[in-house]
Amino acid sequence: MSVDTLARAAELERAGEPHALATVVRVDPPVSARAGDRAVVLPDGRLDGWVGGSCSEPIVVREALGALADGTARLVRIRPPGATPGPAQPGVVTEVTTCASEGGLDVFVEPRLPRPLLVVVGSSPVARTLAALAGVLGHRVTAVLDRPGEQVPGADATLAVTELAGARLRAQDAVVVATMNRYDEPALEAALATGAGYVGLVASRARSAKALEWLSAQGTAAADLARVHTPAGIDLGPSTQDEIALAILAETVAERHRLAAPRADEPAERPCDDEPGGTAVDPVCGMTVAITPDAITATAQGVTAWFCGPGCRDAWLTEPGRYGSAAG
C-alpha cells in the first residue's frame, strides 16, 4: 500500500498537481495503522491510502488541507480520549480524538506543491539559456516549437504552437516568447489564452509594438495586451544573450512572488462553510473537521451539520435538538 501511495504521489508530482503526503511515523498500540503507512490527500479532501481509519482520517485531511493552503508541513499527534494534549510546540498539532480508541499515532503531513513551470517558446539562444537556468532553479520547463527539427535541451516536455492555448497553466507559471520574430504573434496569442501569470516577449521596443498591434487587430482585449511584459526581463542595460535570459528569469520569479503575496487592502479569503476547503465544528464532540466531498454529514430539521465520524452523526440524528449546528 505504501509503495502504491508513493507511486501515486510521484504521478501527481509529474503532472504538476498539488497534494499532501501523510506518513504515519509513530504509533502507540492498539491502533490499526503501522509506522510507514501513507496516504495522499488531494485539494478536494479525497484521501487515497491508509493512515488509521475513521478515527484519524478526518484530522489528517483537515491538517493536509491546511498544509496545502499555507505551504507548511506539520506533525499531527492524534491521542485517545482522556489524554493530555501537552504543551504547544511550533509545527506540531495535537488532537484528542473522540473515538473509542485506546491508542494514538503521529502523522507527518507534507504539502507537495507544483514546481513553477516555465514555458519557453522558440529555440533561440535566449530560450536555450532560459531553459538551462530554470532547470537549475528546480522549475519544470516546457518548450513550444513549430518545427520537428527544433530542440531546447533540458526541456521536460515539448508542445506545438497550436497546443499552447489549451495548456493548463496557473498564475505561478510563466510563458516567455523568444522565437526571434519567427512566430511571435501566434505564440503570444496562444499564451494570452492560458492562465499564466507572466507572459513575456523577447523583442526590441519597435518589434514589440508591431506584435501588439497585430494582436489588437486580431481582437485581443486591451487588458490582455497589458499582460505582456515586453521587452521581457529586468533592465540590466547592454547585455549578452545569456544575461538577457537571466534578467527574464528574475522577472518571472519576481512576478510570481508578487501575485502570490496577499494585498494589504484585501482580507484573506476563507472558503465558505458549505464549500470544499472550509471547516465546520462537529456539534456533538466539538472537533473541527474539513468540509470535503467525502465528509460525514447529515441534515435534520432543516439544519446541515458535519461530523468527525459516524458515531457523532448518529447521536446528532437521534437528538438533533440536543446539540447546536455545525459552526465554521
Does residue 87 belong to any structural domain of this protein?
A: yes
Average per-residue pLDDT for the chain:
88
Given a cut of 80, whether residue 1 has pLDDT beyond it is: no
User: pLDDT tens-digit profile of 51-67?
Assistant: 988 889 999 999 999 99
Q: Which of 7-21, 70-84, 139-153, 276-290 has the lowest mean pLDDT?
A: 276-290
Among residues 64, 87, 112, the one where a domain terminates is 112
CA distance linking residue 189 with residue 167, whole number of Å: 13
Q: Are residues 93 and 134 in the same domain?
A: no
Q: Does residue 103 sit within a domain?
A: yes
Looking at the structure, tell me whether residues 209 and 289 fall in a common domain: no
Lowest mean per-residue pLDDT among 78-87, 250-259, 270-279:
270-279
- Count of domains forming the chain: 3
Residue 29 lies in a domain: yes
pLDDT for 263: 59
272: confidence class by pLDDT, cuts 50, 70, 90: very low
Q: Give the SS3 label for residue 76.
A: strand
Task: Note whether 284 and 256 are same-domain residues.
Answer: no
Q: Which helix (H) or strand (E) covers residue 245, if one does?
A: helix 241-260
Segments forming the whole domain that contains residue 315: 279-322
Asked if the structure places residue 207 within a domain, the reply is yes
Kindly tell me if the per-residue pLDDT of 294 is higher than 70: yes
pLDDT at 267: 47
**pTM greater than 0.85 (yes/no):** no
Give the pLDDT band (50/70/90) at residue 265: low
pLDDT above 70 coverage of the chain, percent: 92
Query: pLDDT tier at 76 (50, 70, 90 boundaries)?
Result: very high
Q: Say if residue 299 is in the same domain as residue 283.
A: yes
Within this chain, do residues 121 and 103 fall inside the same structural domain, yes or no? no
Q: Is there a single domain that holds both residue 32 and residue 98?
A: yes
Residues 175-233: pLDDT tens digits?
A: 999 999 999 999 999 999 999 999 999 999 999 999 999 999 999 999 999 999 999 99
Lowest mean pLDDT among 196-200, 245-249, 254-258: 254-258
Same-domain status, 170 and 231: yes
Displacement of CA 307 from its chain's centroid (Å): 26
In this structure, are 83 and 144 located in the same domain? Answer: no
Q: Which amino acid is at 205?
A: R
Residue 16 neighbours by CB under 8 Å, 6+ apart: 114, 115, 117, 140, 168
* 121 in the same domain as 108: no
The answer to the question of residue 328 being in a domain is no
**285 within 8 A of 279, measured Cβ to Cβ:** no
